[in-house]
Amino acid sequence: MYIVFFGAPGVGKGTQAQLVASRNTIGHLSTGDEFRRNIREGTGLGKQVQNIVESGALVPDELTTAIVRDALAQEKFANGCIFDGFPRTIQQAKDLDAILAESGSAITCIVNIEVPESEIVSRLLLRGRADDNEEVIRKRLAVYHDETAPVIDYYYATSKVVTVNGNSTMEEVYDSVMAALGLNVA
Ligand code: ADP
Q: Is 148 left (phi over 0), alpha (psi -120 to 50) or beta?
A: alpha
Query: Is the residue at 85 inside a domain?
Result: yes
The preferred substitution site among 5, 59, 121, 138 for testing ligand 1, maximizing ligand atoms within 8 Å of CB, is 59
Q: What pLDDT, on a 0 to 100 scale, did the predictor assign at position 183?
A: 79
CA 87 to centroid of ligand 1, rounded, Å: 10
Asked whether residue 163 is domain-assigned, the answer is: yes
Q: Is 155 in the pocket of ligand 1 (CB under 6 A)?
A: no
59 CB less than 6 Å from ligand 1?
Answer: yes
**For position 61, which CATH number holds?**
3.40.50.300
Name the domain count of the chain.
1
Domain hosting 127: range is: 2-181
pLDDT per residue as tens digits for the range 32-84? 999 999 999 999 999 999 999 999 999 999 999 999 999 999 999 988 999 99
Any ligand 1 atom below 6 A from CB of 17: no
In angstroms, rounded to a whole number, what is the distance separating the alpha carbons of residues 11 and 9? Answer: 6
Residue 16 Cβ < 6 Å to ligand 1: no
Residue 186, pLDDT > 60, answer no
**Residue 2 pLDDT > 70:** yes
Q: How would you classify the pairing of strands 27-30 and 161-165?
A: unpaired
CB of 9 within 6 A of ligand 1: the answer is yes
Q: What is the pTM of this model?
A: 0.94
